[in-house]
Amino acid sequence: MLYYLFKYLDSLNVPGAGVFQYISFRSAASVITSLFISLLIGKRIIRYLQEKQIGEVVRNLGLEGQYRKEGTPSMGGIIIITSIVVPAVLFAKLDNIYIILMLITTLWLAFMGFLDDYIKIFKKNKAGLAGKFKIAGQVGLGLIVGLVFFFSDDVIIVERVKIPSTMSVEKIESYETSPVVSSQLKEVNIERKSTKTTIPFVKNNEFDYRWLVSFVGEPLRQPLTWIVFVLIVIFIITAVSNGANLTDGLDGLATGVSAITGAALGVLAYVSSNIIYARYLNIMYIPGSEELVIFASAFIGATVGFLWYNSYPAQVFMGDTGSLALGGIIAVFAIVIRKELLIPVLCGIFLVENLSVVIQVAWFKHTKRKYGEGRRVFLMSPLHHHYQKKGYPEPKIVTRFWIVAIILAVFSIVTLKIR
């Protein structure tokens, strides 16, 4: 909102109003504001949650120090969500399709997480929101994101292609490859809707989802391509949001990992939104994605601010209100900037936590059928509990997971040059 106010003031030649046109200024203002909000409202919300006895109910998992967490205020994700949404609304362009998508994602998954926490705490149902409803919500969000990509004219990429020097601009859209020699070609920038994404580690680093349906005839290829794309979006959102949810088991673990991942995504969004950097790095230029840098700044400030209260020993837990939203934000952000194939690297912590649960459950069921008793691969899953069972102190596990997350984030950024 402030962007539009200061844009109007700038048109009136008010001194200093033009500074709001710069992404760098609005990003800095966004991160500072989100930090300030989280620190300002954090203590008040924690006090309110304590007064209402909205606290963590701990199951007996046989972990050292687990009962220390009993009664610690939960649903602290409200702090994170508020600290993301308010700066984004204040400093970003609200007519930007990517900002609209990110706000929908944040509020959608936060509401789902809130319902889950509400059922657990107030209805005394430890299972929380039924799994089928969680999946339905994640699928619904995936449909929204995928359909916006399909229908919105604002979701485009700019490609630099070589065309015959005699070709008119009107024919560029239908042009794919040129049979003529390079001396007869010219380079032009074209805007188009696309199902392309970036492949890490590959020199010609673009993958088009339509290749997955290349076996069908041309009339069916485009609609089938978008169906495949929507299904992949649904899978990514479900997997990453659940991965963040599983990671939220130790003080500061999911919060710190999310902050690190958000910083890497902010860098990737910035280079994707700058036509000079995008061309230099040979990645897709995505007009309008510069506003995502402001959202990423709010995300970083919110998670770091929440970490003030969530670090060991935690004064508040984010609950599903926060963890589902954080994972969903990371997933949709990566999809929007066409870097979703980097998620296994960038979100390596979430991936390993997810896989540890899948492996544990699958192996337990398999061995129970085969030997009559279930056997385990890990002492306990998700993976961070395995290390707790081995006797590692909680702060050491969290710190080492943060270090791994930093390494993965740096490596993800370096993939822009490693091909």
Name the band, by pLDDT with cuts 50, 70 and 90, for residue 179.
very low
Query: With 90 as the cut, is the pLDDT of residue 13 above it?
Result: no
pLDDT in tens, 319-374: 999 999 999 999 999 999 999 999 999 999 999 999 999 999 999 999 999 888 89
**% of the chain exceeding 90 in pLDDT:** 63
Residue 57 belongs to some domain of the structure: yes
Residue range 389-405: average pLDDT? Answer: 95
More confident residue, 176 or 306: 306
Residue 173 belongs to some domain of the structure: no
Query: With 70 as the cut, is the pLDDT of residue 124 above it?
Result: yes
The SS3 of residue 278 is helix
What is the pLDDT, as a whole number, of residue 340?
94
Name the band, by pLDDT with cuts 50, 70 and 90, for residue 215.
confident
Name the band, by pLDDT with cuts 50, 70 and 90, for residue 56.
low
Residue identified by tokens 């991965």 is: 243
What is the pLDDT, as a whole number, of residue 280?
87
What is the pLDDT, as a whole number, of residue 67?
54
Range of weakest confidence among 100-114, 120-134, 154-168, 228-242: 154-168
Query: How many residues comprise the chain?
Result: 419
Residue range 262-277: average pLDDT? Answer: 94
What is the pLDDT, as a whole number, of residue 185?
64
Locate 312 and state its tokens.
């060991």
Residue 8 belongs to some domain of the structure: yes
Domain that holds residue 391: 2-156+193-414
More confident residue, 41 or 220: 41
Residue range 80-88: average pLDDT? Answer: 97
Residue 6 belongs to some domain of the structure: yes
Residue 180 belongs to some domain of the structure: no
Residue range 366-393: average pLDDT? Answer: 92
Name the band, by pLDDT with cuts 50, 70 and 90, for residue 30.
very high
Residue range 136-148: average pLDDT? Answer: 95
What is the pLDDT, as a whole number, of residue 85?
97
> Do 233 and 142 form a contact (C-beta atoms < 8 A)?
yes
336 burial level (CB within 10 Å; 0-12, 13-18, 19+)? buried
What is the pLDDT, as a whole number, of residue 131?
85
Residue 382 belongs to some domain of the structure: yes
Name the band, by pLDDT with cuts 50, 70 and 90, for residue 154.
very high
- CA 153 to chain centroid, in Å, comes to 23
Residue 147 belongs to some domain of the structure: yes
Residue 182 belongs to some domain of the structure: no
- CA 109 to chain centroid, in Å, comes to 12
Mean predicted lDDT score pLDDT of the chain: 88
The SS3 of residue 197 is strand
Which residue type does 103 have? L
275 burial level (CB within 10 Å; 0-12, 13-18, 19+)? middle
Tell me the pairing of strands 196-198 and 185-192.
unpaired
Specify the number of domains making up the chain: 1
What is the pLDDT, as a whole number, of residue 181?
44
Measured CA to CA, the distance from residue 153 to residue 381 in angstroms comes to: 44
Measured CA to CA, the distance from residue 306 to residue 257 in angstroms comes to: 12
What is the pLDDT, as a whole number, of residue 255?
96
What is the pLDDT, as a whole number, of residue 40?
93
Give the helix ranges, DSSP H, for 165-274.
Answer: 218-247, 253-273
Query: With 90 as the cut, is the pLDDT of residue 58 above it?
Result: no
What is the pLDDT, as a whole number, of residue 178?
43
CA distances from 283 to 99, 241, 275, 347, 410 (A): 21, 26, 9, 20, 18
